[in-house]
Amino acid sequence: MRFGAVLVDGARRTAVIEGEEAAVLPPGSPTPDDAVRDAQALESLRAAARGAERLPLADLDLCAPLTRFNRDILCTGWNYWEHFEESQGKREGQDPKERPAHPTFFTKGPDTVIGPYDDIAFDPEISAKWDYEAEVALVIGRTGRSIPEEKALDHVAGYLVANDVSQRDLQRAHGGQWLKGKSIDRTMPLGPWITTPDEIADPHDLAITFDLNGVRLQDATTALTAFTFARVIAELSWGMTLRAGDVVLTGTPHGIGNAREPQIFLKEGDELVTRVKGLGELRNRVVRTRLS
C-alpha cells in the first residue's frame, strides 16, 4: 500500500494512492503518522480506502506524509563507497584515513521537513554552499532496542524518498559535527508518500536519480550501499531504542555537488527532481527565503 497526506479545501486528509488516483479518506480517519505506529490503524486505512472518494492524483496537493516526529531525523553518512571516495580530500581537513568499519550516524532537525513539491527555503546569508543528496528514507514501525540484523527489516513500516539538502560550509564550521549543516529549516523534501514493504521486492534493488535543472547528477542503485538497511537499523539500535515513527535516512550515492570539478551548489530558482524507482519522486524549487 502507498499512503500519504493531501490538502482538500485547506484541510489535511489521509490518502491511499492507487495508480494515478488517490482514495481520499474522510475526516477523522487515521493519519499516516498513526498508521506507521499502529498496525490496527494501518488496517483501518486499507478498509476505509475501499469506499472512499477517488480523485486524480495529478489534481491533488500532496503534503509531507509525516509531521509527528519522536525526535530528530536519524541519518546515515558515507553509506555508498563511491560517495565516500569522491569526497576524499574535499572535506576541508575532516577526512577519515580509511573506510569506516561501521555506519556513520548523525541527526538533523525535524523542522527541515517539507512536502514532496514544496519550495526549498534558500538564504545565502546562512550558507554559500547548498548541496543536494538524493536518498531512500525509511520509517520505523515497531519499537525495538538492539534489534538483530536478520530481523531488522521487520521493524520497517515503509519507505520514502528524501533529499538531504546540506550546507557544506556549516558542516565544516562547527567542530566537524554535521548537525548544524544538516538542520536548516524547510530544506528537506520528504515523500511523496509512504510505500509499505510488501510493495517492494528488494529494498536493495532501487534505482536512485537526481536531476538539477534537467541535468542528471546522481544515478545509482541501493545495491551499492556500504551497509545494508538491515545493518544500519541493527547498529543504530544497539543499546538505543528505535521507536515506531522514527525516520531514518540511509545515505546518498556519488555525484554530490561538493565533490564535483567544478563544484555545483544550489542557487535561487533551481529545479530539483529526486526519484527512487518504486517509491515515487520529489519535485522542488529553490526559493529565496529569509531565515537569518
State the DSSP string of 235-252.
Answer: HHTTTS-B-TT-EEE---
Of all helices (H) and strands (E), which one includes residue 83?
helix 81-86
Question: How many C-beta atoms lie closer than 10 Å to residue 200's C-beta?
Answer: 18
Q: How far apart are CA 262 and CA 217, in angstroms?
A: 13
Segment 15-34 shows an average pLDDT of: 97
Q: How far apart are CA 118 and CA 95, in angstroms?
A: 34
Q: Is 61 in contact with 1 (CB distance < 8 Å)?
A: no
Domains of the chain and any CATH numbers: 2-63 (no CATH), 73-288 (3.90.850.10)
Q: How far apart are CA 130 and CA 191, in angstroms?
A: 21
Q: Please give the share of the chain, as a percent, with pLDDT higher than 70.
A: 98
The model's pLDDT over 56-115, given as tens digits with 9 standing for 90+, comes to 999 999 999 999 999 999 999 999 999 989 877 656 656 677 899 999 999 999 999 999
Q: Give the pLDDT of residue 34.
A: 98
The model's pLDDT over 159-190, given as tens digits with 9 standing for 90+, comes to 999 999 999 999 888 877 899 999 999 999 99
- Strand-pair partners of 137: 160, 249
Indicate whether 194 pLDDT > 70.
yes
Segment 210-233 shows an average pLDDT of: 98
